[in-house]
Amino acid sequence: METVSDYFGSKVFDDRVMKAMLSADVYQSLRKTIDEGAKLDISVANAVATAMKDWAVAQGATHYTHWFQPLTGKTAEKHDSFITPASDGRVIMEFSGKELIKGEPDASSFPSGGIRATFEARGYTAWDPTSYAFIKAKTLCIPTAFCSYGGEALDKKTPLLRSMEALNKQALRVLKLFGNDDVKAVRTSVGPEQEYFLVDGEMFNARPDLMYTGRTLFGAMPPKGQEMDDHYFGAIKPRVAAFMEELNDELWKLGILAKTQHNEVAPAQHELAPIYTTTNIATDHNQLTMEIMQKVAQKHGLACLLHEKPFAGVNGSGKHNNWSISTDTGTNLLSPGSTPYENAQFLLFLVAVIKAVDDYQDLLRIAVATASNDHRLGANEAPPAIISIFLGDELTAILDAIETGKPYAGSEKQVMKLGVSVLPRFAKDTTDRNRTSPFAFTGNKFEFRSLGSSNSISCTNIMLNAAVADTLRVFADELEAAPDFEAALNEMIKRTIKEHKRILFNGNGYDDSWVKEAEKRGLCNYKTTPDCMPHILDKKNADMLIGENIFTEVELKSRCEIMLENYCKTVFIEARTMSDMSRKMILPAVEKYTATVAKTAVEKKAVVPEANCYYEKEVVGKLGKLSDEIYEATKALEAETAKAKSIDDIIEQSYAIRDYVLPAMAALREAADEAEVNTSEEYWPFPTYAKLLFGVK
Ligand code: ADP
Ligand code: MG
């Protein structure tokens, strides 16, 4: 029988395939490009393209595509076949180096935030050799970056690669100061834990809200939700197990290190975590994982919901971005070492992250801001919208001791002198008890927990890498110029702790008192996307992002605009879906049921004239009132939507949505959900929460 190790990566043009299919010279050149970013010669590109094509065709592929990540947050592909006419009327399969390196999709319909006028439709895709090509269905997919004719990035990969490069450069400078001359590259790694819901496919198709918006816009709570916590880590049901089995197989064939799977807190909610890998690849893999989850679900008659809040009243889905920095020599820079010297280096990187997160807390909040994620953050199921860092008691005590110069109790009461004392190792379980923190140190990595389940992880990692790179630059500038490195280092660590400890918080992030405390500390608390998004253009943020070459000014402005546009469009679609469902499904159903009950009363009276018909009177009265309320709320929502739509300025429009459209949606929902509770289930026009949440066996 074929085992996983036989077929793992079988659909990937990875190092093993390259070695086998390329000449030694070509292989060496390509490796140099992958590892060190060396320029690729066209003759090498031709040889690689031919090998890729031969390998793909042998696996049944007929097409190739430049696979890219536009600002929609999804992936995009346009397929071209390999066929070229031959003189005898037949075809041969061809693929050139030029086609491998560069593509020119007609890109006029991708969001560009005004960078590219629609008449100037040309966009370029450029091969990213650091992420392996792979086969999906019958198409060879080549991971690419996507930019405009003028060279502005129109995608999420380009700034991510830039941020990794920025961090690499600054971290190398710092490492050199510690005498690490053998280190050639520093990379960040990510392991994203992905949450999702599985519901029955037919029920999904019966609900326009799920189909159009990915979440339920109506739905009363069933008698049972998640209060028993009996779903978390519970036994996996057969239909779900079959889905997971096929999902893993598909992911493994694509070289994706799917590792952990379990049931999550909410009924019908599950999680998949891969083994971590280089950020760029982890991002590509996470996009693929989300896509394949949905495809495999469909094959199993299920629907996979990646929305952050598919159901009101039960937990929504997030994505935890486990992040660390390591060298090409295998050292994790966020892992305290076993010698004092390594500790000092660890502490410097640690305080760099602390300073970066404090200085750019708004950018981290912005990175996870979407209409859908606004439902989770701060709702006591996910971290609050306030960004803070959890270090755990042990590390906090060490930093305290360093800052104050007082003895550290955990290590035989010795005074923590950097470069002298050995830090204790932090066991994962002593640092990871607080699940309410947005940004937690978990032994040798940080876990950023504010991401929404459908977010591309690129945004988060762009901001994180850029902020840390910028901090390391400031550190390196100062340390390189210092006459006494050790003295300067000690002073720098102490000072950084003092200046940035306000961002450290080990307490309960769900507690109301934290909101007040955070405000006292001057931390940002941006509750919604419109609240935070415009701050991406604040001088401090723009200076850093442009200074680190992550974005140009034009790119930054366009991104702000696109993200706000996404927010507005998302809510407009939801509002429209609600009013449609209300008018075409809910009101007619309520009317029909009311008529039936009323008719029953009349008939009852005909048979038994003295019958009181309390039940009928009450139901007809209540539903009569509710249908008026629903109708009024629907009209109010439509009016607010029209008003918001007429606003030209995107920021003002997003405010109108936050302040008027979303509350109007909530009011309509409240009336409709109450009608649902008072209407016979037989008459209700779409599957209820009970069926959706408990329907998959
Ligand atoms: P938990 O649910 O306790 O957070 P999981 O085991 O579900 O833990 O997920 C941990 C994730 O962190 C995995 O994806 C794992 O690969 C990743 N991870 C572990 N070590 C590192 C590291 N050094 N850098 C980045 N990610 C890491
Ligand atoms: Mg986790």
* DSSP line for 55-86: HHHHTT--EEEEEB-BTTSS-B--EEE-EEE-
Q: Whole-prediction pTM value?
A: 0.95
User: What's the length of the chain?
Assistant: 697
Question: Closest ligand 1 atom to the C-alpha of 273?
Answer: 14
279, 445, 450, 461, best to mutate for ligand 1 pocket (most atoms within 8 Å of CB): 445
Give the helix/strand (H/E) hosting 283.
helix 279-299
What letters, b where the CB count within 10 A reaches 16 and e where it falls short, cover 10-25? bbbbeeebbeebbeee
CA of 444 to the centre of ligand 1 (A): 10
Which pLDDT value is given to residue 235? 87
Cβ neighbors of 95 (< 8 A, separation 6 or more) are: 49, 50, 52, 53, 64, 82, 140
271, 321, 322, 444, best to mutate for ligand 1 pocket (most atoms within 8 Å of CB): 322
Distance CA 163, CA 564 (A): 23
How many other CB atoms are there within 10 angstroms of residue 493's CB atom?
21
Which pLDDT value is given to residue 398? 87
Which pLDDT value is given to residue 422? 65
Ligand nearest to C-alpha 256 = 1
- What is the identity of the amino acid at 588? P
Which pLDDT value is given to residue 117? 57
Which pLDDT value is given to residue 386? 96
β strands within 294-438, DSSP E: 302-305, 318-327, 389-390, 407-408, 414-415
Which pLDDT value is given to residue 432? 61
Cβ neighbors of 49 (< 8 A, separation 6 or more) are: 95, 96, 97, 99, 100
SS3 assignment, position 420? coil
Which residues, in sequence order, are bridge partners of residue 304? 198
Distance CA 181, CA 404 (A): 33
Question: Closest ligand 1 atom to the C-alpha of 274?
Answer: 14
Helix axes 539-547, 457-481, angle to 10 degrees: 80
Q: Are strands 91-93 and 83-85 parallel, antiparallel or unpaired?
A: antiparallel
- What is the identity of the amino acid at 77? E
Instruction: Kindly report, residue by residue over 179-220, the tens digit of the pLDDT.
Output: 999 999 999 999 999 999 999 999 999 999 999 999 999 999
Place of tokens 């998004």: 533
Which pLDDT value is given to residue 108? 72
Give the helix/strand (H/E) hosting 253.
helix 238-253
Which pLDDT value is given to residue 428? 60
Question: Closest ligand 1 atom to the C-alpha of 257?
Answer: 16
Question: Closest ligand 1 atom to the C-alpha of 193?
Answer: 14
Which pLDDT value is given to residue 691? 95
CA of 666 to the centre of ligand 1 (A): 37
Distance CA 247, CA 300 (A): 11
Residue 104 has, within 13 A of its CA and on its CB side, a CA count of 5
Ligand nearest to C-alpha 431 = 1
Distance CA 620, CA 632 (A): 18
Cβ neighbors of 279 (< 8 A, separation 6 or more) are: 160, 164, 187, 188, 189, 190, 323, 461, 465
What is the Cα 103 distance to its own chain's centre?
27
- The residue among 41, 45, 54, 154 whose CA lies nearest residue 104 is 154
Which pLDDT value is given to residue 645? 98
What is the Cα 658 distance to its own chain's centre?
22
- The residue among 192, 98, 187, 105 whose CA lies nearest residue 154 is 105
**Structure-block tokens of residue 353:** 């992250």
Distance CA 384, CA 196 (A): 20
SS3 assignment, position 94? coil
Which pLDDT value is given to residue 682? 96
Distance CA 13, CA 24 (A): 16
List, chain by chain if needed, residues with CB within 6 Å of any ligand 1 atom.
Answer: 189-191, 193, 260, 273-276, 320, 322-324, 332, 444-445, 447
Question: Closest ligand 1 atom to the C-alpha of 190?
Answer: 25
Which residues, in sequence order, are bridge partners of residue 175? none
Fill in the DSSP letter of residue 294: H
Q: Rg of the chain's alpha carbons, rounded to an integer? A: 28
CA of 688 to the centre of ligand 1 (A): 36
Residues of the chain with confidence (pLDDT) below 70: 107, 116-121, 409-422, 424-433
